[in-house]
Each structure stands twice: as structure tokens, then as C-alpha cells.
Amino acid sequence: MKFLLYLLLALVVVPLQTTLLHYGGLFGIRPDLGLVAACLVGFLGGELDGLILGLLLGCFQDMLSAGDLWINVVTKGGSGFLAGLAGRHMAHITPAVMTAGLAIISCLSSAVFLYSMNPAGLDEVWLGVRSTVLVQAGLDAAVGGGLFLLFRQRWSGDRMVTEGAL
């Protein structure tokens, strides 16, 4: 059941990312809703939930991206898993923790993308960090923190134990 829910979520998030989200970009950079969703579910639902949703989202995103077919699967799945691991070791997840965690995971995910682009030198790496990595991390953190605040009352700060439910 939860798998179907995640499938449905992925089928909503990825088209939203590719069609309407360019209206909400900053300096031409859009928040990565797939990463935010995988991390939120990972933080709150556990590493397995984050991993499964991340893999689904990554698979769909790879189909609609010009990049290699593995890169979104790996980064989104890894991000969800990492968020789940981080969430498991925290007693209370606050909006500040969520925002900082999302920013860090977004930076790590972007680093994989940057590495896959084979930058010619340090100048290009720095340009990528400055123009894309940091802006996207800020946007991801802001969107994730906002969504967490919105849904915090519903989830009441307790981690959902879902591994068995899957």
C-alpha cells in the first residue's frame, strides 16, 4: 500500500518538477522536489522508505533528463537512505535540523552531479558550486523546511515505523 502511495507521489512530483517548477526558480535554478520528497520521507519514515521513494523518483527523473540513466537513481535513492539514517539517530527532528540536513544532503547529491559532468578544472568546479550547488541547496532546504513545518502537526514529530508495513 505504501509503495503505491510512493509511486503516486513520484508520478505527481516529477511532472511538477519538469513543467511548472520553472516559474519558482531562482537565478534559473529550481529546487529539486524529488530530493526534498525523498529526504522528508527518509527523515520521518526511515531509511527504507527514503530509499524506495528516492529510487522511484530517480528512475522517473532519469527518464526525463538529458543526463545518464543512473545518476538520479543513485543520488535520490542515496539521499533518501542517508536522510533515513540521519533521522534514526535523532531524538527530535526540528525544522532547523531538517533544513540543515536537507542543505547538506542536497550539496552531497549535487557533488555527484558535478563529478559526473567531468569539469575541466577548478574554475569550472567553483563555477558549478557557486551557480548551481549552493543555490539549489538553499532552495531545497527552504522548500523542505517549509513542507516540514506544514506537515509537522500531522506527523507530530514521531518517527513512523514503516519497514514492516512495506
* Residues near another protein (CB under 8 A): 14-15, 17-19, 22, 28-30, 32, 34, 60-67, 72, 110, 113-114, 117, 124, 127-128, 131-132, 136
Instruction: For another protein, give the closer residue by CB, 44 or 139.
Output: 139
**136: nearest Cα among 166, 163, 104, 164:** 104
Q: Which three cell numbers stand for residue 7?
A: 509511486
- Taking the complex as a whole, how short is the minimal distance between the CB of residue 63 and another protein, in angstroms? 6
- Taking the complex as a whole, how short is the minimal distance between the CB of residue 104 and another protein, in angstroms? 18
Instruction: For another protein, give the closer residue by CB, 28 or 164.
Output: 28
- Taking the complex as a whole, how short is the minimal distance between the CB of residue 57 and another protein, in angstroms? 9
Instruction: For another protein, give the closer residue by CB, 32 or 49.
Output: 32
Q: What is the DSSP letter of 129?
A: I
Alpha-carbon torsion angle 38, 12, 17, 24, nearest 10: -100
**82: nearest Cα among 99, 104, 65:** 104
Instruction: For another protein, give the closer residue by CB, 97 or 107.
Output: 107
Instruction: For another protein, give the closer residue by CB, 29 or 107.
Output: 29
CB 125 within 8 A of CB 119: yes
What does the alpha-carbon distance between residue 45 and residue 88 come to, in Å, rounded to a whole number? 9
- Report which secondary-structure segment, H or E, holds 146: helix 134-155
- Taking the complex as a whole, how short is the minimal distance between the CB of residue 10 and another protein, in angstroms? 12
- Taking the complex as a whole, how short is the minimal distance between the CB of residue 92 and another protein, in angstroms? 32
Q: Residue type for 24, please?
A: G
